[in-house]
Structure 1
Amino acid sequence: MGPYNFYALILHCVDSIEAQLAKKADAFTEEAETVLANALFILSYLFAALPAATARGSDAEAGQEPNEAANVSFAEKLWQAPENGLRPLGERVADAVMRSLFHDGFTIDGPDLEDSEAPEMVNGVVPALIWQEGVGPEGSSQPKNEMQENRVVALQLLVAFLSGGAPSASVLQVPEHPEDGNDNIDAKLSRLVILDPRPLAYLSDASRTVPFRGELFFSLMSVALGYDPHGFGVPYGGYFAGAKQEAFAHVCLQALGLLLQDMGDAADSQGDLAVSSSLVAKRPQELLVSTKSIPEEEGGGAAQNFFREMLGSISSASEVEFMVEGVVKLLGTVGKERKSYLPSSMRLPPFLPELLVLVLHLTACPKFVAGACAEEDVVGLIEGVLLAASQAPQHVCETTLSLIEAAILLNLTSYREVCVQLDEDFEGNLPESIPDFEGSAADFVAMAALTQASEYLNKKSKASKVHESIVQMSLATLANVSTFADGFCIELCSRLFSLFERCAKSLQAKRDRQWLGSHIPILLEAFDNALQYKYSGNMNLAYGLMTRQAIFRDLVSTVPQVSLALTAPDEDAQEMTRQWQQAVEAHLLPVAGLLDATVPILEAQVEKHEISNSEEAKELLPRCILGLMPPPHAFQMRHLQRCAATHVACEHLLAASVGDGPYSPLWEVEETTPNASQASRGRGQETKSESQKARRERSGSRARSSSRSRGAKALSAKGPVTPNGCDDGEQAAASAT
């Protein structure tokens, strides 16, 4: 099929959809319903057949895509106004799918109104049309499940329209191996896989008038966060909760994640995957004159995405409570599955990665975080995030999931109220990567951050931009927590000192290892925070510092002589080194001064009492350090602004999840095709079978997640999508037209 015929078929389907949507409820017969459903179905396959984006800024890779120019030209044609004066075809598709999602008799049961009577509206939204109560104005009158299958069909077109061929992108199918070089990871994750951002730009443009956007946003949020994974309340109830409802919640989360994306994130940071320029420090003590204890998001008033504006505007106590409870309930399934007294008696939802994308957006909403604090669900939320991130399915790149996890932790700990609630004993479940410890929730968060930082510092070569971003966010999380933690546990102190010694020693190493030294300032800041603000509870940390006085003496003499081999050009290296030296000395000199004043006294006391036990030696530490350190510095807390790194990570995760979720048949190639065709089209039959074989070989929760996903796929392929047993879109074309 050539581009002209492809375009003509899309146009024919849109004409058919618009003709059926023009019919009122009393004229919308079963035949009209079948025609509309099949037209939506065919159009979904057509948009799914579009190619994924090629590598950004890579001439070598672009040269491997001979059809790139044709693909771009075809995408341009969809958004160009035709000569007959009609609107661009892309806009017509967008409006058609939105109207289909809320068409009386097809996806909703419209309110009974007289011809001249308008439905009741609240802030531009018709409450009666929202699919389910939960988020948004009250007053929904929709039946819960009667029209769910038609909604799934319409959402299928919305997802295919937004993502195009991205779920079949070859870059998403490359497995991540430990032996892969960091350059390969950066090259993989720097690729935008959605060819055309204009469908999302049109739907999310707040200045445009797009039908039913508010109703769609509230419906997706209510369905996704209102899903009950526990079934009938018994341990094995999840198996009887219904695959249809689970699949419906799954596709709602995928659509919601795609709608909350914004190409402006990547444009503002010019596509750079480093987060250093997007880490913003704030001082909560400067907000004391304000009536708001939690500040608004930086730049929140200038949001360009309609759906993000809707998310940030949710403020009523009932809505916030619904969102907090829904997120904690869904994330908590991992912990409940571990605690179940019957092995494998509870299955995990297959949409945990997509849920983490939503949580990332929610952490940028102060009202949601304030609601979690008010409900005292902060610890449960963080535990759920870390456990869900540890359950990475086979189709999701672990690096992207780690980056999203690090961003969530950083954003949460940037709120003072969150850090205050972390000073309670932690008795929850630990991810496998975190060793057992006895301590508080602050220890739990700091241990998770240190574990992640150490993991990505342990790569064979110098860290990539993505790895470096994860390390920076993790260490910033540690610094956020250090000011408020009553006392770090001994297991955490041991890991912290190990990382600090490694970075300090790197300054004496050869030039190409000195990049580790760039992390010394924030580690010293964490030490300074703990000593200045929480010294009495941090005896483990204070004693460990005193036993490492030699390292601090070496740093005091070494730092002025260091010339860091950073990633900047030669002309900027000198200025960056000067800034680094200032940041180090700001926290190094106070700590080194304390050690110079206390270590000789401690050593004398230890020798006098002939103490050889560290626990007894800690009893000799000074109980107060007032006068031994300069006045406390003004502590600061960091958060992450939206940037290219999080945008690309979410795009890759969503595209991979869509390609392995309920809508995966759209991107599957059932027939064996030539190798060249497979390379340009995405996953072939052979690749798909290998992926399924790999998933079958998995054990534990990941294997169970895969089996649920396959059940959801089968569900999405049946229903009113095809009439009289038609199995593909082209066979149903006659009915649709």
Structure 2
Amino acid sequence: MMYICMRVRPVHTFGGGSKAGDYTGTVFEWLPPALAARQEDLQLSSPPVSWYLVDNSDLQASSYGLGYRASKDLEDLVPSKAAVWGERVVGQHHGDGWIQVGDFFLPEELEGKRVLVAQDDQEPITPFRQKNVYRYMLQHVTKEPEIDLLFTGLLRLLSSVHQAQQTYLPRSMRSVGFYQEALVLLWHVLTLNSNFTKRVVERHDTNEFLLSLMYLLQQARASVHLIGLLHTASFVLLVLSSERAFAVRLNDPYVAKKVPLEIPAFHGNHADVFALSLYKVISESLPKTQNDALVEMLLTALCNVSPYVKCFCLESCLKLVSLVERLSRPSYLFRTPFTHHGLLFLVEMLNNIVQYQYEGNTMMVYAILRQAEAFSKMEKLSLADSKKAGEEGAEVRRGFEVTEEWLQSVKKKLPLHTLQCLIEYLNPQLEVMCVEQDVTDQAEVLRFLKSTTLVGILPVPHPIVIRTYQASGYTSMWFTSYMWGVIFTRSQRMPLYDWKKIRLVTINQ
């Protein structure tokens, strides 16, 4: 049984919205005595809570939504977090022009225009009716020993899946059956609790967790019924890749094959494990339109870590650069209005490597030079390529038509200038060297590239841009659907449900 909400397209990079997993209006009717007492205290001391519409009708802003503030200061914006225009949020009115939504604040007015409108027709709610009390307690775990205990426990549960496959004695160790739920719990605490995330990436060996996650990604890729696990693991990777400490630790050497991963043999670091594992998922997902959001998410994670990776091995370089040709094919690029996002992130990833880690990544530079024709074709894309793709029977999203204006906007966003400068400067020199010195050895080419400096040739390095998961009502709905699907399939041995009356999924044909 598939339990995926296929109509949902996660806006993990460019969107904004309510806090992840705010199950608005959902209440636990029974609470343990300690939590019930805590609830009564908060209800007595907190301002009234109401519904508010995030309204853009007066302001007419061109932004995606209204930015959250960390305090009651318009300049104190929370990066990459916004309430989407037209969304309803639950907040506490402080009587000073500010509405508190969870731990953040939204202004009632901007530039003299009202942007939050009270929804008086909605049923009033108490503070704890806007969120799950257990999630609230999890969000406020701040003691380091408690964080360590929670993370190591979840890691032990997730590691049991691959450890059960590597025992010498059959069935001497068994995998836990609830590893999907454990991964979702880890994802929730990573996105809810910034103290937890900071402690994990700075003090724990996240590479050990990465290997377990790559194994789960590999298992989910090969099983249709685990497609929800595939997306959940990708969400976790997106969150972790936005942390600098996680990306820097990927440079640690990968010496022992601790986890049975289906990747080529190589000599390198954990960044290579990361790249080769994601390449396999991306490569198999490209032909499937329903996986476009997954491809975009994984390429975003690769783009996030790329400025910090000192060296990719030969296998990783060839695999990653080969994606340039595949993602730039008209049959893929013009399939939907959004498929070009993956190509944008891939080109930006190569820019990051060239501008920030050139010395250790001469193999990646060599791979880019070998794909010079693919970059040239990208620059020359035209409407004729779109029509040709349509004539060849390429699958195109219904209602989407490629126009000259749209194509020029896409080409304008493609950061090709750095790579074009690289190719125009190095390719002629390599051709002359190969002809005059009769060079046929790849090692000679790599030595030449390593001894070459591009200072003054390439444009000024652009600022490092990190993109992370951005919660919205759509992603909350997706995770809710996924978890209920897992719960339902886990309960088939006992007659807890009349399955004929349960509708878990909406399939998008």
Alignment of 1:3-14 (within 5 A): none
Alignment of 1:62-461 (within 5 A): 173-174=1-2, 186=6, 201-203=25-27, 212=33, 214=35, 298=81, 301-302=103-104, 304-305=130-131, 306-364=133-191, 365-392=193-220, 397-426=225-254, 427-430=256-259, 432-459=261-288
Identity %, equivalent residues: 23
| 8 Å Cα contact 2:276/2:316 also seen in 1 | yes
SS at match of 1:522: helix
Look up the equivalent residue of 1:368 and give its one-letter code.
F
User: What does residue 519 of structure 1 align with?
Assistant: 342
What is the number of residues matched between the two proteins? 408
| 8 Å Cα contact 1:401/1:649 also seen in 2 | no
For residues 481 and 495 of structure 1, do their structure 2 counterparts lie closer, same or farther at Cα, with a shift above 3 Å needed?
A: same
For residues 536 and 497 of structure 1, do their structure 2 counterparts lie closer, same or farther at Cα, with a shift above 3 Å needed?
A: same
Q: Which moved more, 1:483-492 or 1:450-459?
A: 450-459
Q: Which among 403, 407, 431 is matched to residue 603 of structure 1?
A: 431
What is the deviation of 1:632?
Answer: 0.2
Q: Which among 348, 364, 372 is matched to residue 549 of structure 1?
A: 372
Look up the equivalent residue of 1:657 and give its one-letter code.
V
Look up the equivalent residue of 1:600 and give its one-letter code.
P
> What is the CA–CA distance in structure 2 between the aligned matches of 1:189 and 1:595, rounded to whole Å?
36
> What is the CA–CA distance in structure 1 between the aligned matches of 2:234 and 2:35, rounded to whole Å?
31
SS at match of 1:640: coil
> What is the CA–CA distance in structure 1 between the aligned matches of 2:278 and 2:189, rounded to whole Å?
20
What is the deviation of 1:327?
Answer: 1.4
| 8 Å Cα contact 1:493/1:541 also seen in 2 | yes
What is the deviation of 1:174?
Answer: 4.7
Deviations 1:316-349 (A, max 9, x none): 1111111121111111213433443323321000
What is the deviation of 1:569?
Answer: 6.0
> What is the CA–CA distance in structure 2 between the aligned matches of 1:200 and 1:393, rounded to whole Å?
32
Deviations 1:210-233 (A, max 9, x none): 66474899xxxxxxxxxxxxxxxx
What is the deviation of 1:519?
Answer: 2.6
| 8 Å Cα contact 2:217/2:229 also seen in 1 | yes
For residues 541 and 189 of structure 1, do their structure 2 counterparts lie closer, same or farther at Cα, with a shift above 3 Å needed?
A: closer
Alignment of 1:616-631 (within 5 A): 616-621=444-449, 622-631=451-460
For residues 392 and 518 of structure 1, do their structure 2 counterparts lie closer, same or farther at Cα, with a shift above 3 Å needed?
A: closer
Look up the equivalent residue of 2:186 and give its one-letter code.
V
Q: Which among 284, 297, 313 is matched to residue 489 of structure 1?
A: 313
Look up the equivalent residue of 1:371 and give its one-letter code.
R
> What is the CA–CA distance in structure 2 between the aligned matches of 1:202 and 1:514, rounded to whole Å?
35
What is the deviation of 1:578?
Answer: 4.0
| 8 Å Cα contact 1:414/1:637 also seen in 2 | yes
| 8 Å Cα contact 2:158/2:212 also seen in 1 | yes
What is the deviation of 1:571?
Answer: 9.2
| 8 Å Cα contact 2:253/2:269 also seen in 1 | yes
User: What does residue 409 of structure 2 align with?
Assistant: 579
| 8 Å Cα contact 2:307/2:464 also seen in 1 | yes
Bigger fraction of residues in helix: 1
Look up the equivalent residue of 1:495 and give its one-letter code.
K
Structure 2 unaligned runs (5+)? 11-20, 39-50, 56-63, 68-75, 83-101, 106-129, 391-395, 505-509
User: What does residue 16 of structure 2 align with?
Assistant: none
For residues 214 and 492 of structure 1, do their structure 2 counterparts lie closer, same or farther at Cα, with a shift above 3 Å needed?
A: farther
For residues 490 and 533 of structure 1, do their structure 2 counterparts lie closer, same or farther at Cα, with a shift above 3 Å needed?
A: same
SS at match of 1:634: coil
| RMSD over equivalenced CA pairs, Å | 4.1
Deviations 1:417-473 (A, max 9, x none): 1111111012354454433332211222222222222221133xxx12xx1111110
For residues 425 and 335 of structure 1, do their structure 2 counterparts lie closer, same or farther at Cα, with a shift above 3 Å needed?
A: farther
What is the deviation of 1:596?
Answer: 0.3
Normalised by the length of structure 1, the TM-score is: 0.49
Alignment of 1:589-668 (within 5 A): 589-621=417-449, 622-644=451-473, 646-661=475-490, 664-667=493-496
SS at match of 1:345: coil
> What is the CA–CA distance in structure 2 between the aligned matches of 1:414 and 1:439, rounded to whole Å?
22
SS at match of 1:536: coil
| 8 Å Cα contact 1:353/1:401 also seen in 2 | yes
> What is the CA–CA distance in structure 2 between the aligned matches of 1:320 and 1:296, rounded to whole Å?
24
User: What does residue 38 of structure 1 align with?
Assistant: none
SS at match of 1:535: coil
| 8 Å Cα contact 1:395/1:657 also seen in 2 | no
> What is the CA–CA distance in structure 2 between the aligned matches of 1:643 and 1:201, rounded to whole Å?
16
For residues 540 and 645 of structure 1, do their structure 2 counterparts lie closer, same or farther at Cα, with a shift above 3 Å needed?
A: farther
